[in-house]
Structure 1
Amino acid sequence: MSQAQQPSRRTVLAAAVVAAVASGTMPAAAATTAAPAGTDTAAAPGRPVDYHAWTSYRDWRGGSAEGVRAVPGRRPGAEIGTPAGRTDYTDPHTGRTATWEYATWTSPVHRLSVPATEVIASWNAHTPEGTWLQVELRGTYSDGTDTPWYVMGRWAAGDQDIKRTSVDDQSDGKSSIWTDTFAIDDASSGLRLVSYRLRLTLHRTPGTRLTPTVWRLGAMGSDIPDRFTVPASAPALTRELAVPRYSQEIHKGQYPEYDNGGEAWCSPTSSQMIIEYWGGRLTPEQLSWVDPSYADPQVDHAARYTYDNQYEGCGNWPFNVAYAATFDGIQGVVTRLASLTDLETLVAAGIPAITSQSFLKTELTGAGYGTSGHLMTVIGFTADGDVIANDPASPSDEAVRRVYLRREFENIWLRTKRYDANGKVRSGTGGVCYLYFPAHPSARQRKALAAVGVC
């Protein structure tokens, strides 16, 4: 797979966000100004991660709206009511300029329980043909100054109106956007992000009643200590979930316009496995564009509809989550977990997870490859506590199920520093994962999600 052959832009991203703390311990929290009125505050002290989301009718009625209305019901959301105005957008990937009606919703300030070196936004939405959305972030630093409004993504479920895209070259000299991640430029300075707001801009074709509908908008802020190794967790669960198995490798050479074909499709392949675990299915009509001679056409479909035209890849984390949430009854988030104990909590409640890791061939027994960035799906644990993973970097669907040694897996997933084959220090993703779960979780599932900081 391509990730194993050369460093990806995701590697550059990870290098930018590692907290440079020589002692290997968490830095002291910076700036303790009082939270302003109307500020949301996190309720999970003690975790190095703060995930917060706006999902309820009350949430959508809060914040500041210009042309956006809150929609009640079983799945509350935000949509265009009366447009705030019109704007022209020139798609950088097609050169096409079009006029759109738009409306905006800006969240209340969320004060992070963990002053953060990085923040990743994610969202769940419906964008019918003729609509799209933009997500932006603006934060306040621990020195009291503010960031600019950073674009975290321009997204549509389809690709007929705009080309979904991240936005490069965003920086203010203190922080930068690396594809889908806000990162403090120099974490060793002690500067942190202490709060943020998110802004939605919803777009539609002028003169229609079409509208995007956003059900979930949130972000994960974190400050993970610099570490080559992590503490070992004790096994506590024996269970395996029945998750479909798909190989990315059997798609080599297919649709190279989407990140050079299947060899680089670990993220959408993993996403499709869990989507189908939760009952998500694509119709023959939706799959009609795929060459009928290709096996598992739903994987080709997932690659096309997670593709980030600026990143030139299918590994944009929020775009994968947003794709999963286009299926009825599924929602998702990007977050970080603290240990395999967190994964056991989720699997015990029937929730698999997609994890991101990088490693040498010698660091993960049985993988048979090394990689600078790879996604796989954790589906369970053996009686010895080892990790059962659906690894899409497998030669066939039948070979996808793997068992990886617990200690090895935990370390390559949770560390933030590693050595490459040339002995140079590189970065790890520090426990990043995607979680997909029912739009209406059971009580047990809600409890498990809350235990890992997902509201």
Structure 2
Amino acid sequence: MNRPTSRRTVLTAAIAAAAAAGAVSSAGPATAAAPSAAPPHAPSAGAPAVDNRFWHTYTDWRAGSGAGTRVAAGRHPGLVIGHAAGRTDYTDPHTGTTATWEYATWTSPVHRSSVPATEVIASWNAQTPAGTWIQIELQGHYSDGAPTPWYVMGRWAAGDGDIRRTSVDDQSDGRSSIWTDTFSVDDAASGLRLVSYRLRLTLYRTPGSRLTPIVRRIGAMASDIPDRFTVPAGTPGLVRELRVPRYSQNVHAGQYPEYDNGGEAWCSPTSSQMIIEYWGRRPTAEDLAWVKPGLADPQVCHAARFTYDYQYEGCGNWPFNAAYAATYDEMSSAVTRLGSLGDLEKLIRAGIPVITSQSFLKEELTGAGYGTSGHLMTVIGFTEDGDVIANDPASPDNEAVRRIYRRREWENIWLRTKRYDAQGKVRSGTGGVCYLYWPSSPTPGQRRVLRSFGLL
């Protein structure tokens, strides 16, 4: 069996194939006409089963085992370096620079997932002052009792002056692999599943300093992904629209091409910036001083730079976007999956907009005007007919960002786990993946709905 490539490689191949076919898309990702004779759809299966487990309370941190770490108490307790447990050299693969770092570690208790999983995605909330960074790893056990290796899920810093934040490719034991930001069982049809896991944090700082990262939240979403090309239709249950700022990624086309060819590929950071500002946060003038004068919405450029994954060579690393949002004052975030539009309605009802990931052909989403092998947009509400109101960054300008998409079409492209591409080949769907950002002190109603999904 061939080792799976990263989502970046898959996306690049899809774009190249579409370009060869003469496809064009305002969103950057591939667009093409439907195959003349698409294979018949497989029967619908059940929704992905999801287990969320996050460590963020004082009790949570104390339940893990640390070497050199301690818990910083407070309203939002976090993990910090108490004393160095050791020193190590790290050669940054993207700069070639080797530096020595002090480190301390914390390992979570083993979490036995309520869902024997085919996929696991970790996410975290941390502050990393200059001179510090963190590494996140996952190790688990399969359903046959065998262990996985320790997999690196990310090497992350809020800035880019000390290390280049990066995913790590070419990690596999022949049974599972890391696809950029996702642990995945290689052959789900075999019945093999991940039944438990633990996470390990390593906190790094400049030797001899008193600097420290502070990690306020870490956890993972484990899920079992069914093969389904279509999903059951849900019943509309909410009429509401949240007032979320509107930003177009296409306004930034050609800007800062070192960050994944500029704005045409910035759907994820543009969506993140919309919701960060919905919650009343934004970068300061000092934060934006590096952006060329005169550019519209410089905060979108800022979001692209500081979500950029130097290995993936893109701004679409899911946990990196969530981590970026949580660098803002009193913000929390997570990457998870939802099982239905009803779940999404619960969040909108509580005032929480949702960033969703989906792939579709142009004709599968009426009014989009493009097709894509991977795109993020922000769901902000529902109409009286139950249709989805989305801030779609793949729009010509900010005014055009607000879209209304047909409920049934949108429901299917977001929640399905299998799809056909323009050549009739079977590809994966994201199966309800989304990012959630919320205030660290949510309202009682927001707390209830977040807790119902296992996020608090």
Q: With structure 2 as the length reference, what TM-score do the two structures score?
A: 0.91
SS for the counterpart of 1:122 is strand
Alignment of 1:215-234 (within 5 A): 215-234=216-235
1:426 Cα deviation from its structure 2 partner? 1.2
Deviates more, 1:416-425 or 1:130-139: 416-425
Once the two structures are superposed, what CA deviation does each residue of 1:271-326 show, in whole Å capped at 9, x if it has no partner?
A: 00000001111111110111112100000000000000000000000000000000
1:47 Cα deviation from its structure 2 partner? 7.1
Tell me which stretches of 4 or more aligned residues in structure 1 moved more than 6 Å. Answer: none
1:219 Cα deviation from its structure 2 partner? 0.2
1:72 Cα deviation from its structure 2 partner? 1.2
1:5 Cα deviation from its structure 2 partner? 4.0
SS for the counterpart of 1:101 is strand
Q: Which amino acid aligns with 1:224?
A: I
Match of 1:175 in 2: 176
C-alpha distance in 2 between matches for 1:122 and 1:186: 24
Match of 1:365 in 2: 366
C-alpha distance in 1 between matches for 2:223 and 2:263: 31
Match of 2:352 in 1: 351
Match of 1:322 in 2: 323
**Cα gap change, 1:48/1:7 in structure 2, threshold over 3 Å: closer, same or farther?**
farther
Match of 1:250 in 2: 251
Match of 1:428 in 2: 429
C-alpha distance in 2 between matches for 1:91 and 1:196: 28
1:6 Cα deviation from its structure 2 partner? 4.5
Once the two structures are superposed, what CA deviation does each residue of 1:228-265 show, in whole Å capped at 9, x if it has no partner?
A: 00011100100000000000001000000000000000
Match of 1:412 in 2: 413
Do the aligned residues in 1 keep the contact of 2:88 with 2:102 (CA within 8 Å)? yes
Q: Which amino acid aligns with 1:390?
A: N
1:225 Cα deviation from its structure 2 partner? 1.1
Do the aligned residues in 2 keep the contact of 1:202 with 1:212 (CA within 8 Å)? yes
Once the two structures are superposed, what CA deviation does each residue of 1:332-390 show, in whole Å capped at 9, x if it has no partner?
A: 00000000001100000000000000000000000000000000000000011000000
C-alpha distance in 1 between matches for 2:377 and 2:229: 21
SS for the counterpart of 1:103 is strand
Q: With structure 1 as the length reference, what TM-score do the two structures score?
A: 0.91
Match of 2:195 in 1: 194
C-alpha distance in 1 between matches for 2:359 and 2:97: 38
Could you list the runs of 5+ residues in structure 1 that have no partner in the other structure? Answer: 12-21, 27-45
C-alpha distance in 2 between matches for 1:356 and 1:290: 28
Once the two structures are superposed, what CA deviation does each residue of 1:142-199 show, in whole Å capped at 9, x if it has no partner?
A: 0100000000000000000000000000000100000000000000000000000000
C-alpha distance in 1 between matches for 2:17 and 2:302: 25
1:329 Cα deviation from its structure 2 partner? 1.4
Match of 1:122 in 2: 123
**Cα gap change, 1:356/1:127 in structure 2, threshold over 3 Å: closer, same or farther?**
same
Match of 1:36 in 2: none
Match of 2:302 in 1: 301
**Cα gap change, 1:365/1:25 in structure 2, threshold over 3 Å: closer, same or farther?**
closer
SS for the counterpart of 1:369 is coil
Match of 2:212 in 1: 211
The question of 1:342 aligning with 2:304 is answered no
Matched residues, number: 424
1:452 Cα deviation from its structure 2 partner? 2.9
1:7 Cα deviation from its structure 2 partner? 7.2
Once the two structures are superposed, what CA deviation does each residue of 1:402-454 show, in whole Å capped at 9, x if it has no partner?
A: 00000000000000111111111111100000000111111100111123332
SS for the counterpart of 1:412 is helix
Alignment of 1:106-121 (within 5 A): 106-121=107-122
SS for the counterpart of 2:436 is strand
Q: Which amino acid aligns with 2:301?
A: D
C-alpha distance in 2 between matches for 1:426 and 1:58: 42
1:25 Cα deviation from its structure 2 partner? 4.3
SS for the counterpart of 2:345 is helix
SS for the counterpart of 1:306 is coil
Alignment of 1:364-403 (within 5 A): 364-403=365-404
Match of 1:18 in 2: none
SS for the counterpart of 2:204 is strand
C-alpha distance in 1 between matches for 2:212 and 2:330: 20
SS for the counterpart of 1:246 is coil
C-alpha distance in 1 between matches for 2:425 and 2:103: 48
C-alpha distance in 2 between matches for 1:24 and 1:176: 27
The question of 1:333 aligning with 2:334 is answered yes
Match of 2:263 in 1: 262
Match of 1:40 in 2: none
Alignment of 1:25-44 (within 5 A): 25=45
Match of 2:94 in 1: 93
Match of 1:84 in 2: 85
Q: Which amino acid aligns with 2:161?
A: Q
C-alpha distance in 2 between matches for 1:58 and 1:117: 29
Q: Percent identity?
A: 75
C-alpha distance in 2 between matches for 1:452 and 1:350: 15
Do the aligned residues in 2 keep the contact of 1:24 with 1:225 (CA within 8 Å)? no
C-alpha distance in 2 between matches for 1:341 and 1:349: 13
Match of 1:73 in 2: 74
Match of 2:150 in 1: 149
